[in-house]
Amino acid sequence: MRPFFCLLLVAPGLIAAPMKSVEAIAAEVKPAVVKVMQVGRDGVDGLGAGFVVSEDGLIATNLHVIGEARRLEVEMADGAKHEVVEVTATDAHWDLALLRVAKKGLKALPLADSDATKQGQPIVAMGNPEGLAFSVVDGVVSEFPDLINDIPMIRLAVPIEQGNSGGPLLDRQGRVLGILTLKSAKTDNLGFAMPVNELKRLIEKPNPVPMARWLTIGVLNPKLWQPLLGARWTQHAGIIKAATPGSGFGGRSLCLWTPEKPAESFEVAVNVKLEDESGAAGLVFCSDGGDAHYGFYPSAGKLRLTRFEGPDVYSWTILADVATEAYRSGDWNHLRVRVEPERLTCWVNGQRVLVQDDTGLRGGRVGLCKFRNTVAEFRGFRLGTDLAEQPVSEELAQRIESALNLLKSSSGRSPETMKDLLDQPAASRRILVERRLQLEKEAAALRELEKELHRRAVTRDLVTELTQPEDKIDLIRATLLLARHDNEEIDVGQYLQSFQRMVEDLKKDPAIAKGTLSAVKRLNRYLFEENGFHGSRHDYGSKSNSYMNELLDDREGLPITLSVLYMELAARLKISGVYGVPLPGKFMIGYKEEPEGELQLLDVFDRGRELSVEEAALELTDSGEFTEEALQPATKRAVILRMLNNLLSSTLDDNSAVSETMPYLNLALELNPDSAVERITRARMNERIGQREAAAADVRWLTENFPSNGPEEILGQLQQWLESLQ
């Protein structure tokens, strides 16, 4: 035993690697650590760190370091700079990104096993704090795993500063344990790092996007908008965002609407929200494309109308600066301006706040403006001759008023009222508390009623879309309506335009016209190689993966959402023989080169991987074969119902509240009234929350529509259930 024991002690690979000094690690690692710089119009306007993970030019960093749609370059320790040619992979959930530079022979850092990280383990961190190049600090692991927003991270007893993000966290053998991510809000001496094992998964399953394509992500449509005077204008989920100060005086920046010029008299409107009320953002009109224009915008909590006639404050005239209770600080506010030959009229949230006689500027274009250092968001921009909301008829108003049974307003804090309350202050306060709680309850009920009204309106639109003939149904629009059912802020029209731009990209491509096989290979390259669409790497059941708008924004989704995008692109491009195949467990794309040819399958969740029917059956079934029905083209209604079932399952699996599950059940039964499964589920849910009449209605339908050849025992159980509910 003794010789064998001695052999074990000296066997290669069985002795732990010796710890290195911080000085040795810094010298060894420094050549592989880089600065990551965002390059803007005026030079570098963003800075972080990264490190080389592959000698052929692959560099790891944080996703938040690279931003959106910005040119990127990295600087090595020796001062050499390399432009990023590809964003090889991104993952918003883990805040990770992989970049590629066109440089070979780089020194790469070895990656450790972060699952083996121990509390108290000594570590070394490297980065670029506050832009200082290639600094080093040592410390220990404070805790692992430490959940931050449900993400397991490595908590560190070392300071992490701006510029450290994306740098390597190293063990004392010089191997990467994690990627430095953020600073603790509680103390300057704590930081956090993302475990490197998550980076390994990203390396294994890349979603490469060439830089030319990356620069289009989140960018405003140039056919619709023209940004002027700097600032960063982006668009996501139908919301336009303006960040960073503009290059004009006072941080002024404009974004002009280009499709049409307004008439002599016109109205322009938008919803705007400011991150910082000390800034300003809103509408611009009568713009000459330079320094001359009007602006109507919130500033420091007031509504301001200004005439700009030059580049600096000496040529600006504040026409009005109005305080109004109609403005909601920190929230969305609807701005509207009417321009007439001799008059300007301005509204906020439907209330007219000023009328100004002024003829200083006319003609020109309209759009958006932003000042100073605030971040501003815009949605619902409109231009027209009359944008006022149509008045509600008196009859409808009375019906709504009666239905809601709203409390009438009181006389407020008059001296007489306060004197009466002070006679019995304790009792008065108790009554006021009861009234406040009642009002809060009514407000909550109104919010639910508002949600229900929105859902029913979307349901009506979706039902109308799906009742058309199969070849007339716009499946992309239907999937966007399904997403809008959950999020009323989704601008369906904007996303339809985004999809149409993809069609325009490919419409004249010669590979598309050559035939099905050539067109399929071109679609694969376009989606998975050039634009980085990919299957979700984490939280497969997340609702986000089922929303078409988020797929178009983030390029990540489920097999069925990716398949819808694929098959609808093929349909708009008139590529024959391509359709959705509703396989059990995974939706795929099928195609045939000839109408009677052999069916080939594409796993779009795995970047268009090709499979035969037999190969797919072995992966997805126990029997190794599919039913004939599973291989038939999926109807558009069936696709929507399958996507809806995914959303419904996400709430049932998580034991979510009834308020999350019931809307999906209601929508499913509107689209498919004959579904017994959804009716039983809804009946049980309504029974559980005490809605016995609603539950009885569904059980009654089940008994009345029970199959004539169905089991008598089941029918008897349904009848007993119905009797118990009545």
Q: Are residues 187 and 235 located together in one domain of the fold?
A: no
Q: Are residues 674 and 599 located together in one domain of the fold?
A: no
Handedness of CA 519, 523, 524, 526 (dihedral sign): positive
Residue 426 resides in a domain: no
What residues have CB less than 8 Å from 528, skipping those under 6 apart? 207, 534, 604, 607, 608
Q: What is the mean pLDDT of the chain?
A: 86
What per-residue confidence (pLDDT) applies to 427?
67
Single out the residue in 212, 236, 265 at which a domain terminates: 212
Residue 14 resides in a domain: no
Q: Is beta strand 96-101 parallel, antiparallel or unpaired with respect to 122-127?
A: unpaired
CA max distance for the chain: 104
What per-residue confidence (pLDDT) applies to 519?
96
- Burial degree of 133 (CB within 10 A; 0-12, 13-18, 19+): middle
Among 338-352, 368-382, 407-421, name the one with the lowest average pLDDT. 407-421
Answer yes or no: is pLDDT of 683 > 80: yes
What per-residue confidence (pLDDT) applies to 69?
65
Q: In what helix (H) or strand (E) does residue 432 lie, and over which residues does it extend?
A: helix 425-466
Single out the residue in 577, 609, 631 at which a domain terminates: 631
Q: Are residues 236 and 364 located together in one domain of the fold?
A: yes
What per-residue confidence (pLDDT) applies to 254?
96
* CATH number of the domain encompassing residue 569: 3.10.620
Answer yes or no: is pLDDT of 189 > 90: no
Q: Are residues 624 and 689 located together in one domain of the fold?
A: no
Is the Cβ–Cβ distance between 176 and 165 less than 8 Å?
Answer: no
Average pLDDT over residues 562-591: 96
* CATH number of the domain encompassing residue 252: 2.60.120.560
Is the Cβ–Cβ distance between 66 and 36 less than 8 Å?
Answer: yes
Q: Are residues 232 and 191 located together in one domain of the fold?
A: no
Number of domains comprising the chain? 4
Is the Cβ–Cβ distance between 253 and 245 less than 8 Å?
Answer: yes
What per-residue confidence (pLDDT) applies to 402?
57
Domain enclosing residue 244, as ranges: 225-384
Residue 526 resides in a domain: yes
- Residue by residue, DSSP assigns 128-170 as -GGG-TTEEEEEEEEEEEEEETTEEEEEESS---TT-TTPEEE
Q: Are residues 272 and 229 located together in one domain of the fold?
A: yes
- For 46-60, the pLDDT digits (tens) are 678 999 999 999 999
Residue 3 resides in a domain: no
Handedness of CA 588, 589, 595, 599 (dihedral sign): negative
Among 1-5, 116-120, 351-355, name the one with the lowest average pLDDT. 1-5
Average pLDDT over residues 685-698: 91
Average pLDDT over residues 701-712: 90
Q: Are residues 486 and 608 located together in one domain of the fold?
A: yes
Output the pTM of the full model: 0.74
Residue 197 resides in a domain: yes
Q: pLDDT category, 221, cuts 50, 70, 90?
A: confident
Handedness of CA 258, 260, 266, 270 (dihedral sign): negative
Place of tokens 């059980």: 699
- For 392-450, the pLDDT digits (tens) are 667 756 655 555 444 344 444 455 655 555 666 776 677 667 778 888 888 888 888 88
Q: Are residues 251 and 129 located together in one domain of the fold?
A: no
What per-residue confidence (pLDDT) applies to 610?
94
* CATH number of the domain encompassing residue 648: 1.25.40
What per-residue confidence (pLDDT) applies to 449?
84
Average pLDDT over residues 650-655: 66
Q: In what helix (H) or strand (E) does residue 489 lie, and over which residues does it extend?
A: none
> Could you tell me where the DSSP H helices lie in 485-543?
492-507, 510-513, 516-524
- Burial degree of 356 (CB within 10 A; 0-12, 13-18, 19+): middle
Residue 488 resides in a domain: yes
Query: In the numeric block, which tokens belong to residue 403?
Result: 């239905």
Give the 3-state secondary structure of residue 68. coil
Residue 457 resides in a domain: no
What per-residue confidence (pLDDT) applies to 125?
87
- For 531-551, the pLDDT digits (tens) are 889 888 766 778 888 999 989
Q: pLDDT category, 656, cuts 50, 70, 90?
A: low
* CATH number of the domain encompassing residue 196: 2.40.10.120
Single out the residue in 367, 384, 401 at which a domain terminates: 384
Q: Are residues 191 and 257 located together in one domain of the fold?
A: no
Residue 441 resides in a domain: no
Q: Which residues of 684-700 are buried (b: 16+ CB within 10 A; e: fewer)?
A: ebbbeeebeebbbbbbb
Q: Are residues 364 and 500 located together in one domain of the fold?
A: no
Q: What is the CA radius of gyration of the chain?
A: 31
Q: Are residues 716 and 620 located together in one domain of the fold?
A: no
Q: Are residues 658 and 571 located together in one domain of the fold?
A: no
Is the Cβ–Cβ distance between 270 and 366 less than 8 Å?
Answer: no
Average pLDDT over residues 126-141: 73
What per-residue confidence (pLDDT) applies to 97?
93
- For 197-208, the pLDDT digits (tens) are 999 999 998 888
